[in-house]
Amino acid sequence: MKMQAERLKVIEPLPLPLHERLFDDGEHLAQALARQVAADLRGALARHGEACIALSGGNTPKRFFQALSTQTLDWARVTVLPIDERWLPPEHPRSNERLLREHLLQHNAVAARLLPLYRPTETPEAALMPVLTKIANEGLPLDVAVLGMGDDGHVASLFPDLGRDNPALREIGLQPRGRAPVMAIRTEAMPEPRMTLTLSAIFTAPALYLHIEGEKKRAVLDNAQRDPRNNLPIRSVLLGAPHPPTLYWSP
């Protein structure tokens, strides 16, 4: 009697947990995300009298910022801070502080308080301790954080080459329960040095959202969610978040 050859069963790894809200276009996404974030901020205001939100920069969130600025809530008790900042003065076109002032801090949200990361020093390293102290004392814990993602899988200013020459930097930036809420960043991927919140600071927010648009970025996210060999920063978000983030995505 011939023995049947044993077949090895390949077990595919389960994708990391992620709540998903999918939209046909960026405008509907922006409106829905604005309504949800406003509800989160109202809840935080009701619980402890003030609220703090950290927001990513770039072109993707502009419509969302504009929609959020028209939401009705007690903006005078809301603190807004950028998740990361290029080391450029706030009048520079690439400044995230400028982005927030022009697209969010208007209409109803004009009364919100902005807590910037930039200081007029030559380097972010020179301003690190004052910024770190300010954020720790006046910005944390967060109530809401909205992360974007680059085509290369970076989040905040935590890029794939983080820690290439100094592995401790990767540990600081991507540690889910670390002690450093802010760090100075230099990357070959971008021309300017930067200041960024670390994942340990971002993860203090009970409401954590990923705002991602486009098929290319969705493919990057899907790979990070499913492939255990993936070591992009976005996978560190999915692995380390204390509860599954909520994805808002449109083509």
Is the whole model's pTM more than 0.75, yes or no? yes
The mean per-residue pLDDT over the stretch 56-70 comes to: 97
pLDDT tens profile 106-122: 999 999 999 999 999 99
**How does DSSP classify residue 64?**
H
Q: Which residues of 185-199 are buried (b: 16+ CB within 10 A; e: fewer)?
A: bbbeeeebbbbbbbb
Using a pLDDT cut of 70, give the percent of the chain over it.
Answer: 95
Q: What is residue 166's predicted lDDT score, i.e. its pLDDT?
A: 83
Q: What is residue 14's predicted lDDT score, i.e. its pLDDT?
A: 78
Question: How far is it, in rounded angstroms, from Cα 144 to Cα 80?
Answer: 10
The mean per-residue pLDDT over the stretch 144-148 comes to: 98
pLDDT tens profile 72-104: 999 999 999 999 999 999 999 999 999 999 999
pLDDT tens profile 168-202: 889 999 999 988 999 999 998 888 999 999 999 99
Question: How far is it, in rounded angstroms, from Cα 96 to Cα 56?
Answer: 8
Domains of the chain as residue ranges with CATH: 20-250 (3.40.50.1360)
To which residue do tokens 């209409």 refer? 107
Checking phi first, is residue 235 left (phi over 0); if not, alpha (psi -120 to 50) or beta?
alpha
Asked whether 52 and 79 are in contact (CB, 8 A), the reply is: yes
Name, in order, each residue with C-beta under 8 angstroms of 61's C-beta and a sequence gap of 6 or more: 55, 103, 146, 148, 211
Binning pLDDT at 50, 70 and 90, where does residue 131 land? very high
Q: What is residue 40's predicted lDDT score, i.e. its pLDDT?
A: 98
Question: How far is it, in rounded angstroms, from Cα 209 to Cα 148?
Answer: 9
**How does DSSP classify residue 114?**
E
Binning pLDDT at 50, 70 and 90, where does residue 11 land? low
Does residue 209 register a pLDDT over 70? yes
Binning pLDDT at 50, 70 and 90, where does residue 2 land? very low
CA distances from 56 to 53, 126, 141 (A): 10, 23, 17
The mean per-residue pLDDT over the stretch 232-243 comes to: 97
Q: What is residue 3's predicted lDDT score, i.e. its pLDDT?
A: 47
Tokens standing for residue 176: 């889910």
**How does DSSP classify residue 181?**
S
Bond prior to 141 in cis (omega within 30° of 0): yes
The mean per-residue pLDDT over the stretch 226-247 comes to: 96
The mean per-residue pLDDT over the stretch 16-41 comes to: 97
Q: What is residue 1's predicted lDDT score, i.e. its pLDDT?
A: 45
Mode of pairing for the β-strands spanning 144-147 and 207-213: parallel
Taking the CB of residue 102, how many other CB atoms lie within 10 A of it?
Answer: 13
To which residue do tokens 């990513």 refer? 56
The mean per-residue pLDDT over the stretch 127-149 comes to: 97
Q: What is residue 164's predicted lDDT score, i.e. its pLDDT?
A: 87
Average pLDDT, the chain: 94
Asked whether 195 and 54 are in contact (CB, 8 A), the reply is: no
